[in-house]
Amino acid sequence: MKRSDKTRGTILDEAIYIASKTGFEALTIGKLASAVGMSKSGLFAHFNSKEQLQVDVLKAVAKKFADKVITPSLKAARGEPRIRAIAKNWLAWTNAKFMPGGCLFLTATVEFDDKPGPVRDFLVSNQKLWIHFIAQAAALAVEEGQFRKELDTEQFTYEFHSIYQSYHYASRLLNDPQAESRVWNMLDKLLENARA
């Protein structure tokens, strides 16, 4: 790793931390510069606008997501084991130490869903890949004969995705001690419904 890459990685980690705590709107180059002890002009060499910084932060988060959720899930066997692994790794993601304020994809969704531009464009294309990944895992479970042939895998994905969002809300906002068991109850029903 080149020294300049390392610096960039460290800056992005700090930016992820700040965005998680305050949101993307409040992540200014000035605030980030003082957090990493650099000059604003030094930071402009890395990110020439706040918007570029926001895109780069999301790209860095997407990279971490691939490492911590997608890749390990692929180690589980096709079909239900993989779907359960996705759920487990995704849930752990919400409590990642480098994002103390919760999942940055949810933060970005709320902030950018109504703001056309490159940040929204990256977020949408990234989330579509993720949705496709889940749908693909469901399609493989159909192929393996574990899920029924006529299963609507997009509907399955919609419901699978909803479990995650409710968990984030119940665990982080309501501090519901049963938030996690509710996830597994809901997932059990979803799988039962999908089976061949």
Q: Binding residues for its own copies, per CB under 8 A?
A: 21-23, 25-26, 100-102, 106-107, 109-114, 123-124, 127-128, 131, 152, 154-155, 158-159, 161-163, 165-166, 169-170, 172-174, 178, 182, 185-186, 189, 193
Looking at the Cβ atoms of 39 and 165, the one nearer to its own copies is 165
How far apart, in whole angstroms, are the C-alpha atoms of residue 188 and residue 17?
34
CA nearest to 95, candidates 163, 158, 160, 164:
164
Residue 38 or 104: the one with the smaller Cβ distance to its own copies is: 104
Closest approach, Cβ 184 to its own copies, in A, equals 11
In the complex, the smallest distance separating the C-beta of residue 106 from its own copies, rounded to whole angstroms, is: 6
Cβ proximity to its own copies: between 23 and 72 the closer is 23
Distant-in-sequence, close-in-space partners of 91: CB < 8 Å, separation ≥ 6: 164, 167, 180, 183
Residue with tokens 């409710």: 166
CA atoms lying within 13 Å on the CB side of residue 193: 14
DSSP state of 48: S
Q: Is 90 exposed, middle or buried (0-12, 13-18, 19+ CB in 10 A)?
A: buried
Task: CB nearer to its own copies: give 37 or 116.
Answer: 116
Q: How far is the CB of 77 from its own copies (least distance, A)?
A: 27
Instruction: In angstroms, give the least distance from the CB of 22 to its own copies.
Output: 6
